[in-house]
Amino acid sequence: MSSSPFKLRVLGAVGCVAALVALAACSSSSSTSGSSTNSNSGTITVAVVSNPLITNQMIPLTTSVFEKQYPGITVKYATYTEGDLRAAIQKDVSTHSNAFNVIMIGPYETPLFAKSGWLTDLTKTYINSDPSYDAADLLPPIAKSLSYNSDLYAVPFYGESSMVFYNKALFAQAGLTMP
């Protein structure tokens, strides 16, 4: 991670445990708490949206899987409603307070934060050096939305989209055309 005081020391993660593993393996002693200088010990603070997927699945998996595999690392979650999460992250980013080691952001923030140099380039820093991680497994539209200059700056924890279904026959019968 960059040592520049003007860059966040965060991974642009969409809150996945895999990103925590990468951060834990590469975090410096300055981003951990406690008196230990071992890079495999300390606390990782993660800012996430408070929804059932996170609170009922990711947080329990962190305790039962990640913290058992990395017993020296404690993961502390700061959970927010979606609007409050965006405000907390924007405040953290704009003030360079580095309150969070990992942040849950979406496709809107990822390229903006990456362009500003506030996120770690995951492709160059981790993915290119880990043959077990196949970024080609990601759905192309999701990978593209979490990239900047063709490099991933965030990894998906989940993906969602919006769509409209309509009955063509009923539209035609009513004389309507779908825009």
Residue 49 burial (10 A CB sphere; 0-12, 13-18, 19+): buried
Residue with tokens 């409603």: 81
For 93-138, how does the pLDDT look when each residue is reduced to its tens digit (9 = 90+)?
Answer: 888 898 999 999 889 999 999 998 888 999 999 999 998 989 899 9
For 15-71, how does the pLDDT look when each residue is reduced to its tens digit (9 = 90+)?
Answer: 344 344 334 334 433 343 333 344 678 999 999 999 898 889 889 999 899 999 999
Residue 4 pLDDT grade (very low, low, confident, very high; cuts 50, 70, 90)? very low
- b/e sequence 147-162, b meaning 16+ C-beta within 10 Å: bbeebbbbbbbeeeee
Residue 154 or residue 29, greater confidence? 154
pTM as predicted: 0.65
Residue 176, pLDDT > 80, answer yes
Residues in the chain: 179
Q: Rounded to whole angstroms, how far apart are CA atoms 3 and 177?
A: 56
- Whole-number pLDDT of residue 179: 85
- Whole-number pLDDT of residue 95: 87
Residue 156 or residue 32, greater confidence? 156
85's CB contacts (< 8 A; 6+ apart) are: 47, 48, 49, 50, 104
- Whole-number pLDDT of residue 39: 61
